[in-house]
């Protein structure tokens, strides 16, 4: 009978603890907030990560965080709404690793106003970043995915790939002052369910994660007027402190979520345990399903 504990080398332990080793993930809007947390989480589980952000410096900072802990990543700066972005973004990862295993369509922002004050540009901007950009990225990836799936089927191998589109409880239940954002995040669900049907035979799980109140720079409670520049537009960020406190008070778990907790929800749809889960919407909101 064995009396001494089984000793496993550090290399073997690391392999056993990482479920995405050898996978290549593409994450948009990954320089800050939830996207950054998603990139770090997937990398911590062994995935190679293509880190996208509007600003090259912020994308590279996340890459540096990943490589400092032994992970592998490359930065790819640019706006997801630019013509040709999708092909260049997907091409960067294929050129580096010749693989597409995980796509997380995370990039986005809000641009709020009541409908009487909402311009066409405000509405179109939300549709472009939240719906058209993911559509273009999936279209750009389709040729590679179809070719790889065909080869794997011929070899008798079953290889699952993952797409996670980011939605919101504003998309599942609507939200005051967000006709544009809510419409776009609802449209993401239609795209998700359609691609789950189109790509199911290719062994691609396509799901959506709908976030509730997650603490980021976009939802920070502040009475200061803060703005960011996105695609030439000046967009306000943060919400009044009283509103933030009120939103937190109705969350059943008693507080907003952290970016890391949001990333954990995305990871659930990327890990092997979700290989038979597709066309689903996972709400990560601490029990809050509507605003």
Q: What is the mean pLDDT of each run of 10 residues along the chain (291 residues)?
A: 48 62 98 98 98 98 98 98 98 98 98 97 98 98 98 98 98 96 98 98 98 82 71 73 75 95 98 98 92 66
Q: What is the reported pLDDT for 184?
A: 98
Question: Is 252 a member of any domain?
Answer: no
Neighbouring-strand partners of residue 230: 233
Please report, for the domain that includes residue 111, its CATH number: 3.40.50.720
**pLDDT for position 276:** 98
Task: Provide the domain count of the chain.
Answer: 1
Locus of tokens 């659930």: 268
- Hey, which bits of 153-262 come out as E strands? 161-168, 204-211, 226-230, 233-237
First to last CA, the chain: 60
Residues marked as catalytic: 181
Nearest residue to 267 via CA among 156, 195, 162, 191: 162
Which tokens in the block code for residue 212?
């509730």
Q: What is the structure's pLDDT at 15?
A: 45
**DSSP E strands, 55-194:** 72-77, 102-105, 161-168
Give CA angle at 52 (288, 184), nearest 5°. Answer: 45
For residue 173, give every residue at least 6 positions away whose Cβ sits within 8 Å of its Cβ, in sequence order, or none.
Answer: 289, 290, 291
> Does residue 137 lie within any of the structural domains?
yes
pLDDT at residue 290, as a whole number? 72
On whether residue 154 sits in a domain, the answer given is yes
Residue 124 lies in domain: 19-213+258-284
pLDDT at res. 4: 52
| Residue 275 domain-assigned (yes or no) | yes
Q: Examine residue 68 and state whether it is found in any structural domain, yes or no.
A: yes
């Amino acid at each position: 009978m064995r009396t001494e504990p089984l000793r496993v080398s550090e290399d073997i332990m690391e392999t056993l603890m990482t479920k995405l080793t050898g996978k290549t993930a593409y994450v948009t809007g990954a320089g800050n907030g939830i996207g950054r947390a998603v990139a770090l989480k997937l990398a911590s589980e062994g995935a190679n990560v293509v880190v996208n952000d509007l600003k090259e410096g912020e994308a590279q900072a996340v890459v540096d965080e990943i490589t400092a802990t032994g992970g592998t990543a490359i930065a790819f700066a640019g706006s997801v709404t630019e013509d040709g972005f999708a092909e260049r973004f997907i091409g960067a990862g294929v050129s580096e690793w010749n693989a597409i295993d995980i796509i997380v369509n995370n990039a986005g922002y809000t641009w709020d106003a009541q409908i009487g004050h909402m311009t066409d540009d405000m509405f179109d901007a939300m549709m472009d970043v939240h719906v058209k950009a993911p559509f273009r990225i999936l279209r750009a990836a389709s040729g590679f995915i179809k070719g790889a799936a065909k080869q794997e089927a011929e070899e008798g191998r079953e290889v699952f790939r993952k797409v996670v589109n980011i939605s919101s409880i504003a998309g599942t239940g609507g939200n005051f002052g967000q006709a544009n954002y809510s419409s776009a995040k609802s449209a993401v669900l239609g795209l998700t369910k359609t691609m789950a049907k189109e790509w199911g035979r290719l062994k691609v799980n396509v799901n959506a994660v709908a976030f509730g109140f997650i603490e980021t720079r976009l939802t920070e409670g502040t009475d200061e007027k803060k703005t960011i520049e996105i695609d030439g537009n000046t967009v306000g960020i943060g919400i009044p402190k009283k509103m933030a406190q009120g939103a937190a008070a109705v969350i059943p778990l008693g507080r907003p979520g952290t970016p890391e907790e949001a990333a954990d929800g995305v990871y659930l749809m990327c890990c092997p345990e979700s290989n038979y889960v597709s066309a689903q919407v996972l709400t990560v909101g601490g029990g809050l399903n509507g605003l």
